[in-house]
Amino acid sequence: MPTPSGDSDHAIAAFFEAFSRRDCEPTCLALFGAPERPAERHADQDVIYVSGGNTANALAVWRLHGIDRALRDAWGGGAVLGGVSAGANCWFECCVTDSFGPQLAPLSDGLGILPGSFCPHYDGEKLRRPTYTRLVAEGFPAGYAADDGAAVHFVGADLRQVVASREGARAYRVEPDAETPLEARLLTGIGSGA
């Protein structure tokens, strides 16, 4: 789902390039110029991957088309949900985002499939870590942060593991009074863009 990127042709082409060589049948649900009944297209998907981009815009468009409910139903039916940046933010109750302009800001109306908050790009953008830790210290829900190249893997609402596509990437549990590093299992045999 390339909604956060505004259904960017580049994002769609990169997705098909990455997944067409895998043992799967990739499809794309573009919502700008929306197809008829877009929410119904989620019912038969095993994996739903959301691109990076603007978290707030994606959530608004999804709610307009009923995609938010379709994503919850897909998750409840056993589909694997994932994504990068905005595509990771969206699953949580809250997140840190640059959706509203160049300054990082809290967003408190995510899909809520996962409890708490999330912050991507923890080591990739210099203001992410101090902004997120400050927000959590001031009462923003505790949650998880991930370095670029790291991912948090949940089963249901329980953190199962942290995986990384590069050496040194990790995730963190961030609470009002502590930031706890979570060791990552390095995935081998994948490109640095994973």
Question: CA nearest 160: which of 107, 96, 114?
Answer: 114
d(CA 140, CA 116): 9
Q: Which helix (H) or strand (E) is 19 found in, with range?
A: helix 9-19
Helix (H, G, I), strand (E, B) or coil at 75: helix
Question: Of the residues 5, 42, 117, 121, which is catalytic?
Answer: 121
Q: Are β-strands 143-146 and 92-97 bridged in parallel, bridged antiparallel, or unpaired?
A: unpaired
Q: How many CA atoms lie within 13 A of 41 on its CB side?
A: 16
Q: Which residues pair with 124 in a beta bridge?
A: none
10 is a catalytic site residue: no
How far from the centroid of its chain's Cα atoms is residue 151's Cα? 9
Overall size of the chain counted in residues: 194
Question: Of the residues 5, 85, 99, 165, which is catalytic?
Answer: 85
- Structure-block tokens of residue 80: 């694997």
121 is a catalytic site residue: yes
Active site members: 85, 121
